[in-house]
Structure 1
Amino acid sequence: MTTEKAPVRVFLVDDHALFRAGVRAELDSITAEVDVVGEAGSVAEAVVGIGHLKPDVVLLDVHMPDGGGAEVLRQVRTALPDVVFLALSVSDAAEDVIAVIRAGARGYVTKTISSQELVRAVVRVSDGDAVFSPRLAGFVLDAFADRPGAAPISDPELDLLTPRERDVLRLLARGYAYKEIASELFISVKTVETHVSSVLRKTQLSNRYELSRWASDRRLV
């Protein structure tokens, strides 16, 4: 007999009541995998609420008037090491991502995330995974790669591209037309087409839109 997995108990921390209400309503309506057990609109309320309810996952805003997500982590994480924190923020600034991850958050997603994607992120961090919105992962890798003695972070797929192919891809992802790319790089339109075909083949992608997203995820844009 299979035992049904208990829902992930979630605590929301955000200083905007309307946003908290929206997230709670969305999560409660679309899945039984998560259960929103509490919420807070300030650091002080969050510390008390998390300590009392001991949720599995805290969805944590990064910027709040009285200190923000990093301050909540500082006050709670040592006493409650089993509670997992997932930053949910409007900010995609590198310094915000790095600060909250160094403070102890397990992941960082932006508020553009869909409800279904947020559920998956909550479940994944609860299971022990680290979760980031695609373009944010590079900030974390770069930050930790900068530590003394750290191994350089490489991307095997990106390493397949030549420097000129990267130049073409970067401009393509920025919305340049083939003719504009040719002018910018002082090459022919035919050569641009050849490079794009090569990049598509190496990345196993099928169109310009997919290439743009691929480049953005790897912070080439």
Structure 2
Amino acid sequence: MTDEPVGGVRVCRVFLVDDHAVFRSGVRAELAGQAGIEVVGEAGSVAEAVAGIGRVRPDVVLLDVHMPDGGGVAVLRSVLGTDPSGAPATSGAPATSGTSDASGTSEAPVSTFLALSVSDAAEDVIAVIRGGARGYVTKTISGGELADAVRRVADGDAVFSPRLAGFVLDAFARAAPGPEERGEPVHDPEVDSLTPREKEVLRLLARGYTYKEIAEKLFISVKTVETHASNVLRKTQQSNRHALTRWAQSRHLD
């Protein structure tokens, strides 16, 4: 929030984006009575929103998700230069609300986006958050709660209506690459407890070799193979060779 405090309260400048004029009027009326909130503009389409945000440079944009000409994601893409996956846009110049200094370096966009929608569908929540919105609240929210959400996102918090945050956490948890995808070693305490020789014996056991065949392949005695096999069973907590084979296959050690 960039305005100077008025009567001890710092003013947060808000821009409304929704294709229903009656709804915009209602939100404006609700926020008008809230301390520290000033509605500085509104738009009913993506094009109007992009132009208005660039001109007014509000602190917070209250953004409708579904509009006939592309909706909230289209606004986010135009203003922040992102596509729905959150990656930089590959075409078109982002219409950011930032400015350039004498060196030609662009400042980061000054506006923060808070989605305000009738929809509580997971795909809508995920799309706008990946697009760059800082939060998502539904239109069942009260005026006081909305004002509080606006102040919080302006201060850098992420704000969601109840249960919606779970959609985002689940989506990003699924999308996050595991150690295998990142090319990092996967640590399994039971596997790590095995010596290199015990792992060799384990792999051959899982492939169906007999103790005698393993001894011949590794140039060790059958008694030594039996000892290694016993250690492997104990360390992996498996009861027999068949269970050990399934265990090894589940860890791609066969």
Q: 1:20 to 1:142 in 2, by over 3 A?
A: same
The structure number with the bigger radius of gyration is 2
Where in structure 1 are there 5+ consecutive unaligned residues? 152-221
1:116 is aligned to 2:116: no
Partner of 2:244: none
Distance in structure 1 (CA, Å) of the matches to 2:57 and 2:76:
14
Choose the corresponding residue for 1:36, options 24, 33, 39.
39
Where in structure 2 are there 5+ consecutive unaligned residues? 82-95, 98-108, 180-254
Give CA-to-partner distance per residue, 1:46-98, whole Å, 9 cap, x none: 01100000000000000000000000000012423221000000000000000
Choose the corresponding residue for 1:21, options 18, 21, 25.
25
Asked whether the equivalents of residues 9 and 35 of structure 2 are also in contact (C-alpha less than 8 Å), the reply is no
**What SS is found at the alignment partner of 1:122?**
helix
Distance in structure 1 (CA, Å) of the matches to 2:178 and 2:23:
39
Distance in structure 1 (CA, Å) of the matches to 2:138 and 2:144:
14
Partner of 1:126: 154
Distance in structure 2 (CA, Å) of the matches to 1:131 and 1:37:
22
Asked whether the equivalents of residues 59 and 110 of structure 2 are also in contact (C-alpha less than 8 Å), the reply is yes
Trace 1:87-98 onto structure 2 (pairs within 5 A). Answer: 87-98=115-126
Total equivalences in the alignment = 149
**What SS is found at the alignment partner of 2:19?**
coil
**Where is the helix percentage greater, Structure 1 or Structure 2?**
1
Aligned-residue offset at 1:150? 6.1
The code of the aligned residue for 1:130 comes to A
Choose the corresponding residue for 1:75, options 73, 78, 102.
78
Aligned-residue offset at 1:24? 0.2
**What SS is found at the alignment partner of 2:8?**
coil
**What SS is found at the alignment partner of 1:91?**
coil
Aligned-residue offset at 1:32? 2.4
Give CA-to-partner distance per residue, 1:13-53, whole Å, 9 cap, x none: 00000000000011102x12110000000000001100000
1:53 is aligned to 2:39: no
Distance in structure 2 (CA, Å) of the matches to 1:5 and 1:33:
6
Partner of 2:214: none
| Percent identical residues | 72
1:8 is aligned to 2:12: yes
Aligned-residue offset at 1:108? 0.1
Partner of 1:104: 132
* Deviant stretches of 4+, over 4 Å: none
Distance in structure 2 (CA, Å) of the matches to 1:35 and 1:96:
27
